[in-house]
Structure 1
Amino acid sequence: MAQTLIAEDIDLGALWDDPYPTFARLRAENPVAWVPAAGHFFLTRFDDVVHAERNGEIFNSTAPESLVHRVMGHAFIRKDGDDHAADRRQVMPAFSPAAVKTRWRAAFQTIADDLLDGLEPRGAGDLFTDFAAPMAARSLVEVTGLATIAWQDMARWSQWMMDAVGNYHGDPALAARGAEATAGIDAAIDAMVPRLTAEPDGSVLSVLLSAGMPMELIRANVKVIIGGGQNEPRDAIAGLAWALLADPAQRALVAADAGLWGRAFEEYIRWISPIGMVPRTVSRETELSGVRLKPGDRVALLFGSANRDETKFDAPERFDLSREKSQHVAFGAGPHFCAGAWAARTQVAEVALPTLFARLPRLRLNGPVRCGGWVFRGPLTLPCAWD
């Protein structure tokens, strides 16, 4: 019985290249599998992942030994219960639907228009580096309130932190870059505190200062928001553009009905979840899919696998806008549902993608697209041309 729980043959490098065949095998044969290479049990089925997300008293987020904690500090995503709720309440005024509608949507539109003013005359480029990455990073500078950071530094530091958080194989170079990124963000926070204390502006740093959150927690929470706030919108912008450009029939659907942009975004982040895994620690003995888990066991909630669970989605490997709206877990579930979901939906589905496709006539792929990752996953290149 114990031997059947072990997945010793799983190669994390192969997962980075293409995790989906391995995920499908685990869902079918070994849905709660101990993976020595990662030091975690992999939870691969939709129902198990949702159960773990909604039962924080059993599957704890708090883990001082976790890479998130070590790289970023004790942020609200690594807390549970009242501690998590208290931090989240202080963060949410910057991400509420009202704040997104009245403040951030216009800022996102200004950034998209400015980027495309520069791109349109060129006729070709890599839209990952030339549009998706600066769109996400410049938006993040606005939302966080860290106005002294150049968008290039924001993009680089976010990526370096995410690489360090996903550094389960212990690469010292990734750890060093993560430390450099967090030091740069701390300096940017320190530079903005006097200004935002004197003139609050509704940004993340501003609302946390106004709420009286201790500086240690402000630093950790801002770093976590920078990590997710760059990674998911960037990869969804590039990934959804790629999905539509690679499939003329799907592109024709959004061209005929602009109301489908929201569905296109939700379907993309189901199909390729930008945040593919979150870790948890078992606090008391429990059972999932016939496997007994004991206190202290570390589990990996694989959103990227759950969102392709054949028992929940028809032909889950296919990007399909005709799919009836389905409840994916790309934003998590339960108390840890992504705080920035409204901002991400607005940035990607209401602004970035509709503007991109409207502004660049005959937008088309102009070379191979590379993807990578399993803890975080998305395109790495998006070569395109337009008239």
Structure 2
Amino acid sequence: MKINRKKTRRINVGSVPIGDGAPVAIQSMTTTDTRDIEATVSQIESLATVGCEIIRLAVVDMEAAEAVGKIRLRSPIPIVADIHFDYHLALKVLDGAIDAVRINPGNIGNQNKVRAIVDRCRDRGIPIRIGVNAGSLENDLLERYGHPTPEAMVESALGHVHLLEKENFHDIKISLKASNVPDTIDAYTLMSERCDYPLHIGVSEAGPLLSGTVKSSVGLGYLLANGIGDTIRVSLAADPAEEVKVAWGILKSLGLRSRGVNIIACPTCGRLEIDVVGIAQRVEERLAHISETMDVSILGCVVNGIGEGKEADLGIAGGQGVGIYFENGEVVKKIKDVEIEEFIIAKVEERVEKMRKEGIDPNANPLKNGLPMHPAMGGAR
């Protein structure tokens, strides 16, 4: 399948390009109190380690606004300040180090207040994200449409866009999120037809880890497969690190990005003679720190395992007390089944060390199934 991404305008959030064919960037949001600088920096660093590329911070008052600039100076990734209603907070964060602001111009106040923010953003080259959520639409739109329809969300967003365009400002990206997957898909599809601004896609308030992952994967996967989306956030009621991991999983499954170890494991069945589920889960967790691209198979059937995992860089097919270790589809040696977990981890780390010594680009390896890959992979900036 070839994904033809829609051509959108290019903006830059710090060092991360958004739109116009740039790799789909992964975002999350801190759960710490922004006023707690140490805790917030620590969480940002942890999220960057698992592949977060842009982070958003809630700016609830002037103390938080003052903290943002200090946090940005220590952050390894660009920061977006999330601001509602009070334009003074936007002006404050724009006085310091910041990479983007998220506002709804319509709830900031009169056009003079919007102009003050736009002028400051223009002077500093800072883009603005317009964020529309189904749960917070303007009353007049709700009265006219009856409920938060995709059409109402798009009209709201375009109204906010118009306020910025009146000031001749175009460094904009747009989000239109709903917790309902079909509405989210329809809203982004309609917006994609109506403008060429880059789109930040997500399913709002998707839910806990399991159900939220399903909803986000279906909604964002559909949009991305149809070429819609320049940056994404998976919104989960869970540790934000899980948001980043799921986002990477969605992009990797579509062949849009590549990062880290991809575990290929067979489903459970009555023929399994090794603990495929336990081994696969533990290996994935223990190798989560690796950013180099690699396919690793952990399969429970010696007869079919090598064939099923032949596209992997390396792997194990286990059964009847023995594991068959293979590389690039070729059998290398037999090992005891009790050694499988430690053996496969050691082999992965050995290969990663070799890649680093030889200066091999860790994230530019094309997927072996022929899916199209963007030339800038992984932590591309």
Instruction: State the TM-score, normalized to the length of structure 1.
Output: 0.27
Higher relative contact order structure (alpha carbons within 8 Å, sequence separation ≥ 6): 1
Greater helix proportion:
1
Instruction: Choose 1 or 2 for highest CA Rg.
Output: 2
